[in-house]
Amino acid sequence: GKKVLIVYAHQEPKSFNGSLLKIAVEELTKQGCSVTVSDLYAMQFEPRATRNDIVGRLHNSEAFNYGVETWEAYKRGGLSRDVVEEQKKVQEADLLIFQFPLFWFNMPAILKGWMDRVLVQGFAYDLSKAYDGGLLQGKLSLFSFTTGGSQEMYSKGSISGDIRYVLWPMQHGIMHFCGVKVLEPHICYAPENVSEEKRKEMLTAWTQRLKTLWKEEPIDCSPEWYFK
Amino acid sequence: GKKVLIVYAHQEPKSFNGSLLKIAVEELTKQGCSVTVSDLYAMQFEPRATRNDIVGRLHNSEAFNYGVETWEAYKRGGLSRDVVEEQKKVQEADLLIFQFPLFWFNMPAILKGWMDRVLVQGFAYDLSKAYDGGLLQGKLSLFSFTTGGSQEMYSKGSISGDIRYVLWPMQHGIMHFCGVKVLEPHICYAPENVSEEKRKEMLTAWTQRLKTLWKEEPIDCSPEWYFK
């Protein structure tokens, strides 16, 4: 069976995001996948990139450079335990699913901190190993999120612009940069502002999509997809 | 004199970001501005949006909804002290400067957490008070950051795309949404990979820009500026 890591960033299990997580765990497990969940708020995951991420002596203690220090620490096995554990989960996964509510046209800080701290140089990319040559080649990713605004607000020509504009930094700038292929995002628009019936339809649609997920082709993660 | 809040996200005072901060504090103070700095790492600023941000009883303790709870708490003066202090600084400022290194096509998590926790509904925007009607009207903002990649990499047609693509969520999705006008970003490309002479030129350019900053017109923060 395939291995899936779900990185989940919502405080409340009874939330709509919580329901989407539950569906993914159940459906993928039913398919025979091995599913791991990093429940960031429950783990009280540290989002701040600090000196604490390096165990032992610094490469250059005169002037702290997070990028250089984590790269050096990665090479000698000196990253903090919470980061190493997340890297192990990423290493083993065939598919990474990110489940979160969109906060300010982006992921919540706790999830951004996961990206900042886990995907360090040497592990996820290297000097000349980025984009299609990124070190996490062979893996798939999927951004699944809820919004506050409606689908109409997130369309080209509307005030909030095409929803794809906000996907560029996440899908291209992070996942593609690390060599990870990107499946179509799964977006539930404004679940708090629709009827209970519509919410149920959204949950059903997620279950249905997951049933044939492994047959999907990744998107063409190029500027044309985002800004055409 | 004008009031300026600099929200600064770098761990190391001796860094290039640290030099840019120092220059801004000195130059703006010399002009007679009153300058406040929120040094997020030094403050150990909390980036996680949790129940701890609400003092006292929750509006709905059955299912925690961060957006609803912080909105309600704001109205009754029940937000946590660190958030209230940042809101006071924002309220008093004529200009917000964000100084940080670009991490993964975006701001570092600690700064994203500042946005998530400080700019709550009721304070920064409200139901029908967003974009040009946002509650922080009358203020200016400026994103000043360093990159790892070169200017050539962040140009249209290059692999990392036009640098303006990454500005959309920050400038439009956050600042414009709150009614804050946006000045041209100040971008120092790859300071770690250029000569000492070039780095000095970059610092001088920042000083020079700050001298005439108050005469600048805000950008036209519309999709055309970002994606033309």
Report how far residue B17's alpha carbon sits from residue B9's, in angstroms, rounded to the nearest whole number.
Answer: 8
CA atoms within 13 A on the CB side of B173: 29
The whole-angstrom distance between residue A76's C-alpha and the CA centroid of its chain comes to 26
Crossing angle of the two packed helices A81-92 and A109-118, in degrees rounded to 10: 80
Q: With an 8 Å Cβ cutoff, is A191 touching chain B?
A: no
pLDDT band at B228 (very low <50, low <70, confident <90, very high): confident
Over 90: is that where the pLDDT of A228 sits? no
Q: Do B109 and A110 touch (CB under 8 A)?
A: yes
> Mean pLDDT across the stretch B115-136?
96
> Mean pLDDT across the stretch B119-129?
96
Q: CA dihedral in degrees (B55, B57, B60, B63; nearest 10)? A: 70
CA distance to partner chain B, nearest, from residue A175 (Å)? 10
In chain B, positions 119-158, which contact chain A (CB-CB < 8 Å)? Answer: 119, 131, 148, 156
Predicted complex ipTM exceeds 0.90: yes
Report how far residue A70's alpha carbon sits from residue A60's, in angstroms, rounded to the nearest whole number.
Answer: 11
Q: With an 8 Å Cβ cutoff, is B16 touching chain A?
A: no
Over 90: is that where the pLDDT of B127 sits? no
Q: With an 8 Å Cβ cutoff, is B43 touching chain A?
A: no
Contacts of B166 in chain A (CB under 8 A): 168-169, 173
User: What is the phi-psi region of residue A131: left when phi exceeds 0, alpha when psi lies from -120 to 50, beta otherwise?
Assistant: left
Please give the angle made by the CA atoms of A166, A53 and A47, to the nearest 5 degrees: 35
Q: Do B108 and A49 touch (CB under 8 A)?
A: yes
Q: Do A105 and B172 touch (CB under 8 A)?
A: yes
Residue B67's nearest CA partner among A103, A64, A152 is: A103
Q: With an 8 Å Cβ cutoff, is A221 touching chain B?
A: no
pLDDT band at A127 (very low <50, low <70, confident <90, very high): confident
Q: With an 8 Å Cβ cutoff, is B108 touching chain A?
A: yes
Render pLDDT for A23-51 as a digit per residue (tens, 0 to 9).
999 999 999 999 999 999 999 999 999 99
CA distance to partner chain A, nearest, from residue B166 (Å)? 6
pLDDT given for residue B145 in this prediction: 98
Mean pLDDT of chain A: 97
Mean pLDDT of chain B: 97
Report how far residue B95's alpha carbon sits from residue B6's, in angstroms, rounded to the nearest whole number.
Answer: 8
Render pLDDT for A198-208 as a digit per residue (tens, 0 to 9).
999 999 999 99
Q: What is the CA radius of gyration of chain B?
A: 18
Render pLDDT for A167-219 as a digit per residue (tens, 0 to 9).
999 999 999 999 999 999 999 999 999 999 999 999 999 999 999 999 999 99
Report how far residue A88's alpha carbon sits from residue A93's, in angstroms, rounded to the nearest whole number.
Answer: 9
> Mean pLDDT across the stretch B124-132?
94
Q: Do A108 and B49 touch (CB under 8 A)?
A: yes
> Mean pLDDT across the stretch B20-42?
98
Q: Which helix (H) or strand (E) holds B147?
A: none
pLDDT given for residue A84 in this prediction: 98
Q: With an 8 Å Cβ cutoff, is B220 touching chain A?
A: no
Q: Do B48 and A44 touch (CB under 8 A)?
A: yes
Please give the angle made by the CA atoms of B145, B148 and B151, to the nearest 5 degrees: 80
CB pairs < 8 Å spanning A and B: 151
pLDDT given for residue A195 in this prediction: 96
pLDDT given for residue B224 in this prediction: 92
Q: Are A192 and B63 in contact (CB under 8 A)?
A: no
- Using DSSP's 3-state secondary structure scheme, residue A38 falls into strand
Give the phi and the psi of residue B108 in degrees, each rounded to 5.
-60, 155
Contacts of A226 in chain B (CB under 8 A): 165
> Mean pLDDT across the stretch B121-131?
95
pLDDT given for residue A74 in this prediction: 98
Q: Are A104 and B116 in contact (CB under 8 A)?
A: yes
Q: Do B64 and A11 touch (CB under 8 A)?
A: yes
